[in-house]
Structures are given as C-alpha cells and as structure tokens.
A = this chain, B = another copy of it.
Amino acid sequence: MPAAVSRPLSTQAGFPDRHTTLGAALRHAYDALSEHTYAELAAAGFADIRPAHRVVFRHLAPEGSRIIDLARAGDLTKQSMAYLIAGLEESGYVALESDPEDGRAKRVRLTPRGEAAMEILLKTSRAVERRLDRRLGAGTSSTLKQTLGSVAALLQPPAPAGD
C-alpha cells in the first residue's frame, strides 16, 4: 500500500521537540523575512539580485568601498567578493572606479540603480517592523531586536570561561 499519503514528517512522533526549538523558530522567521524581501525587490524590478548579493548591499559604504574591505565585513574571501561584485557590475548595480589614493585598489560604488535597490531594501525592512508593531503592539520589534541581540551576545564569545 504505497502512496502512503505523504504525511508531513514535521508532525510525526519521535524527536518530538525538534520542531519547536529556538533554532527552528529563528530559521522560520528569517526565511519568511528573506522571501518577503526578495519578493519586494523582484516586484520593484530588481529580480536579478540574488541572495548571495545581499552581503554587498549590507556593507557597501556610500563613498564606495574596496573589495577587500567588503570581503572582510562580509566574512568571505576577496575572490568570492570579487565574483559577487562582478555580477552586480554586469547588471548595473555597482560601478568600479580606481581608488585615487591607492593605485592597487578600486572602489566599488552604488550606481543610481543600486541606490534604488537599497532604498527598497530599507523601505521593506521599515514596513515589516511597522506591521509587526501594529499587530503585536508598539515596541514589539524594538524589544524583539534587543532580545535577538542578547541571543547573539550569549553565543558569540567562544565560551569565555567555564561551562
């Protein structure tokens, strides 16, 4: 008797607490937010920005940044960052100019199109927080962010001492 109804594994018995962990909750919220953000970005005409590109928008300084600085900020190698930048340059989100202060370096800078995408990202983020506050009460998103900060702080230090 195959075609066994394909029951959702998530609700099966055994390892009962596996889907109610903090990790699962964080992942679901983050995934939902990510999907929402991409949908907004795509709806605004920026469908060619892929998940990996976000690390660039996260750290690019308005005056332009060097590839190596972006790589450090995003915690990946300069080669990987260069690869991402090349993609964004090809699709017109950033432009590369040589750094007047250092002949070895280039500066990555947002184009107007890149700035428009950045606007959408920030706008979407603000809108989600507003919706959350409207739904669960003013201050919810602020409190949530603070608690999340504590979670990160709790785990960041590589176990400083004892325990």
Q: A22-B33, A136-B147, A148-B26 are in contact. Are A9 and B59 (CB under 8 A)?
A: yes
The count of identical subunits is: 2
Q: Give A residues with C-beta under 8 Å from B.
A: 1-2, 4, 6-10, 12-15, 17-37, 39, 58-63, 65-66, 68-70, 72-73, 99, 101-102, 104-105, 118, 122, 125-126, 128-129, 131-132, 135-136, 140-141, 144-145, 147-152, 154-156, 158
- Quick one: closest B residue to A131, CB to CB? B154
- Bound Cα distance from A20 to B48, whole angstroms: 25
Q: A61-B14, A73-B8, A154-B131 are in contact. Are A102 and B22 (CB under 8 A)?
A: no
- Chain B min CB distance to A71 (Å): 11
- Quick one: closest B residue to A63, CB to CB? B14
Q: Say whether B73 contacts A10, CB under 8 Å.
A: yes
- Quick one: closest B residue to A99, CB to CB? B2
